[in-house]
Each structure stands twice: as structure tokens, then as C-alpha cells.
Amino acid sequence: MLELIVKSVQDILNLTDKKLAEGITADTPLVGAGRVVDSIGLVTLIVDVENRVAEHTNRPISLMDDRAMSQTRSPFRTVGTLAEYVQELIHADLKERS
């Protein structure tokens, strides 16, 4: 999942010609200080990840559900926390279906 998110962030940065001094890792921030995408970039990222996961798993996924909104710590903090969150959602969906 981390790979998928990294690729998505990279594609969005390529659209804006933004160059990072360091590569994109699990610790790359998506919100707050040092974030690599602006607010529009974050929306694009979330939509892109939803689209990629849907293609990958053949199941629609919504990252902005009540669970994401109610968490005290945003799952969108870093590339790594987003990857973990997406993985959790996929597991929850699988569990619900089984």
C-alpha cells in the first residue's frame, strides 16, 4: 500500500513540477509543517488514491468517512499514516463482506 501512495504523491508532484530534495518516504508529511502538497494537492491525492485502490481491489473505497473525520489524529498526516489507514479500511471492508 505504501508503494501505491508514494506513486500517487509522486504523480501529483510531477503535475506541479515540484522537486523534493529527498525522496518520498513513509515520513513525508501531507499536512502541517513541511507538507509536500497544498490543500488542492491533498484533495487530488485522496481522490487519486481512492481511484487506484478501487482499480486494485475492484471495490469502491471512501477515505473521507465519519471514521476519518472523528479521529483525533488525522490519518492524512504522512504518507505512512495514510497507507496504514487505507490498509485498515480494506481489511474492514473484507471483514464486513466475509
Min dist. Cβ of residue 46 to other proteins (A): 9
The set of cell numbers assigned to 14 is 510531477
DSSP assignment string, 20-83? -SS---TT-BSSSTT-SS-HHHHHHHHHHHHHHHHHHHSS---SSSHHHHH-SS-TTSBHHHHH
Tell me the residue length of the chain: 98
Q: Does 32 participate in binding other proteins (rule CB under 8 A)?
A: no
**Binding flags for other proteins, 37-66, as an x/- string (CB under 8 A):** ---x---x--xx-xx--xx--xxx-x----
Q: Does 25 participate in binding other proteins (rule CB under 8 A)?
A: no
Min dist. Cβ of residue 7 to other proteins (A): 14
Q: Tell me how far apart the alpha carbons of residues 47 and 53 are, in angstroms, rounded to a whole number.
A: 10
CB nearer to other proteins: give 59 or 91.
59
Please give the residue ranges that form the binding site for other proteins (CB under 8 A): 40, 44, 47-48, 50-51, 54-55, 58-60, 62
